[in-house]
Amino acid sequence: PQKIIIDTDPGQDDAVAILLALASPEEIEVLGITAVAGNVPLSLTESNARRICELAGRPDVKVFAGCDRPMGRVLVTAEHVHGETGLNGPVLPDPTMPLQDQHGVDFIIDTLRAEPAGTVTLCPLGPLTNIATAFERAPDIVERVKQIVLMGGAYFEVGNITPAAEFNIYVDPQAADIVFKSGVSIVVMPLDVTHKALVTTPRNDAFRAIGNRVGIAVAEMTDFFERFDKEKYGSEGAPLHDPCVTAYLINTDLFTGRHINVTIETESELTMGMTVADWWGVTDRAPNALFMGDIDADGFFALLHERMARL
Ligand code: BDR
Ligand code: CA
């Protein structure tokens, strides 16, 4: 299996991404989960991460708290999408598994130094604060990363938090800039892909019909989470943004995209956090990311339904 660190701000869609990883031990070994401030403040994202591990029956997973605010800006949160707790929808008990003492950034650094170079994949599902802080503090780890597979950004679908920017990149553009300039091989799941990964009513019914705790909780999460996109975009259901990252690790063939240059806007307030993606190759800037554009949504949901039934 591929060794990964999940860096996350749960978030209902983060939760499904984590569940998919934990349901797939043949393909994925989760070395640890680092929480970051994003959808809701850090105290909630770290406890939500533990709630999800317990829901998956995996209280042994190591969960760490990372950075509680972006590198250079005030934290912007998204309770308007995810609810006050970040995980509104199902009633999940308070976690009893421990939070690790070590800081999430130190865990990322130590793990990359301890594991053989080129074997650990980073999976950021929230603002890139923890990853960029680790790269700044320990530049030696950068070349040891196998790859980064992240959810963030947008091109044709432009913004969901401002007209120009996607939430994860907008919250910490400085961190995103560091990551996209790092030279690490990056796979990006932008809104262009995730807005095609919609939990339609039949797909949600199929989660509920699994009948186990996880299937029902996923259905309840998407019931709650879909209001925002239905009202704003008139979409057919909740977009499962973050699970695109863990699905890619299991089956890369579900996604297609292009190797292109992606540069982050860090100066203009109007377009702050925009992922300026050279999809048409109109500049001579070197490609730094595999920017996905399409998804086999039926295949993606078939995978999710099959794996949630295993938990
Ligand atoms: C991203 O922002 C968060 O609200 C979601 O969890 C996802 O990671 C989508 O823009
Ligand atoms: Ca997220």
Query: Ligand 1 center to residue 116 CA distance, Å?
Result: 31
Answering whether pTM is above 0.90, one says yes
Residues with CB under 5 A from ligand 2 (ion): 9, 11, 14, 125-126, 242
Query: Ligand 2 center to residue 282 CA distance, Å?
Result: 31
* % the chain with pLDDT above 70: 100
**Pocket probe mutation, ligand 1, options 167, 198, 233, max atoms within 8 Å of Cβ:** 167
Phi-psi region of 6 (alpha: psi -120 to 50; beta: other; left: phi over 0): beta
Rounded to two decimals, the ipTM of the complex is: 0.99
CA distance 208 to 199: 12
Answer whether residue 227 shows pLDDT above 80: no
- Which pLDDT value is given to residue 57? 98
Q: Which of ligand 1's atoms lies nearest the C-alpha of 11?
A: 6
- Which pLDDT value is given to residue 247? 98
Which ligand sits closest to the CA of 152? Answer: 1
Predicted confidence (pLDDT) per residue in 77-124, tens digit = 999 999 999 999 999 999 999 999 999 999 999 999 999 999 999 999
Cβ-based burial of 208 (10 A; exposed 0-12, middle 13-18, buried ≥19): middle
Q: Is 305 one of the catalytic residues?
A: no
Tally: H helices and E strands in the chain = 12, 12
Instruction: Give the number of other CB atoms < 10 A from CB of residue 91.
Output: 8
- Which pLDDT value is given to residue 235? 81
Phi-psi region of 158 (alpha: psi -120 to 50; beta: other; left: phi over 0): left
Q: Is the CB of 261 under 6 A from ligand 1?
A: no
